Amino acid sequence: MSLNDSIVELLKRVRGTSAKAETTSTRELKAGSGPLRLAAILNEIEETVLPRKLTFRLGDDAHIVMDVANGRLMRMLEVKPDSVVGPNQEIFSARDDKKKAEQVTAFRAFLTTFAQMNGPMEVTSGPPKTEYSAAEVGYTAPELRKACQDFEFPGDAPEPAEPDKKAAAKTPAKKSATKKPAAKKASAKKPATKPRKAATAAQASASIAAFFDACEPLSENIFLMSGKGKVDRHSGGTSAQKDWQSAAGDVASDLAQWIKATSNALGPSQLIVLKSPRLDNQSVCFATEANHTVVAVFNNADLARVLSAASNTLNWGVVR
């Protein structure tokens, strides 16, 4: 190829890349409830690496426009309808660490109020009008997620767990009929947070128990422990059982210390695998979720099977 041809080819490629960066595309985000809409928005922010202007539209009237780059929200450009913005809140223009608490509270309010609105959601990604300097860091998706994580969406509480259903069945019909309006009034004032939290904890406990069941056939020794090191379930060689039970207290305390130190960066649910370099040796994994830990000892060669079991059972999906 001559030099001329090479230059022409190179320019074609450059033009192709720049055209791609200039294009605007719209996608539907399938999210049928408030929490799913919020998660979809945060995921979009997290997965946007190159600078883009993202417009999230919900139904005909509501939209949020923001500049996003490097998985960070750089600037909020527009929020509609106006009711999404509270009376004393400003639309975020640049990160100011002196006002961090106010800014984070405002995000939480914008995003959660927006996510509660009804309608099909779509996102339009286009080129941003502003170029941001390296000094402008904005807010990362995990920071935004953390700000919104304990928000309870009204009317989105899952069905109560089985014992509550049984208790409700035992209650005489007359009594429940007379109590109903008062209960309704109370729920209108304050969303049912306790059943939701209890249901979330129950779901997490169920998933960690499912991980225990999936790993049991692969493990030489496996324990399911509560947060304080109390062994709830055990399976494996009885000769080593005493040794393992004596280690449970140390494991629980070391893990609690580790989770406390790293939960800001890694979150409270983690799968930790300690591995020796030799193939015929054993590995140990600690899976923590909902204040429960599974400790499993398995052969190094079974690492992939254990990861697969974790991926299939733990709520947060260990491997994508």
Partner 1 sequence: MSLDKALQEAMTGIPECLASGYVDMQSGMVLGVHTVDSHPQEVLDTLAAATADLFQGASVVHIENMFKKFRGTEKDESHYFHEMFIFSENLLHVFMRTKKYPDHVVCFVCRKNANPGMVLTKSRMALDPVSAAV
Binding to partner 1 by residue 273, rule CB under 8 A? Answer: yes
Residue from 103, 125, 219, 270 in contact with partner 1 (CB under 8 A): 270
Task: Return d(Cα 167, Cα 202) in angstroms, integer.
Answer: 17
Q: Find, among 74, 53, 43, 75, the residue nearest to 126 by Cα.
A: 53
- The structure tokens listed for 269 are 């649910």
Candidate ranges 110-118, 178-186, 198-206, 251-259; the one touching partner 1 (CB under 8 A): 251-259
Q: Could you identify the residue written with the tokens 């309010």?
A: 109
Q: Tell the smallest beta-carbon distance from residue 134 to partner 1 (Å).
A: 7
Binding to partner 1 by residue 50, rule CB under 8 A? Answer: no
Residues forming a β-bridge with 78: 65
Q: Tell the smallest beta-carbon distance from residue 51 to partner 1 (Å).
A: 12
Q: Tell the smallest beta-carbon distance from residue 225 to partner 1 (Å).
A: 11
- The structure tokens listed for 119 are 């309608």
Q: Could you identify the residue written with the tokens 């020794």?
A: 221
Q: Tell the smallest beta-carbon distance from residue 4 to partner 1 (Å).
A: 33
Binding to partner 1 by residue 132, rule CB under 8 A? Answer: no
SS3 of residue 99 by DSSP: helix
State the CB neighbour count (10 A cutoff) for residue 104.
Answer: 17
- The structure tokens listed for 137 are 């860091």
Q: Tell the smallest beta-carbon distance from residue 150 to partner 1 (Å).
A: 16
Q: Tell the smallest beta-carbon distance from residue 25 to partner 1 (Å).
A: 21
Task: Return d(Cα 226, Cα 302) in angstroms, integer.
Answer: 25
Per-residue binding string, partner 1, 70-109, x by CB under 8 A, is xxx-------------------------------------
Q: Find, among 80, 84, 107, 111, the residue nearest to 95 by Cα.
A: 107
SS3 of residue 134 by DSSP: coil
Nearer to partner 1, 214 or 271 (CB): 271
The site for partner 1 (CB under 8 A) is made up of: 46, 49, 70-72, 134, 140, 142, 240, 243-244, 246-247, 250-251, 253-255, 257-258, 261-262, 264-267, 269-277, 281-282, 284, 304, 307, 310, 316, 318-320
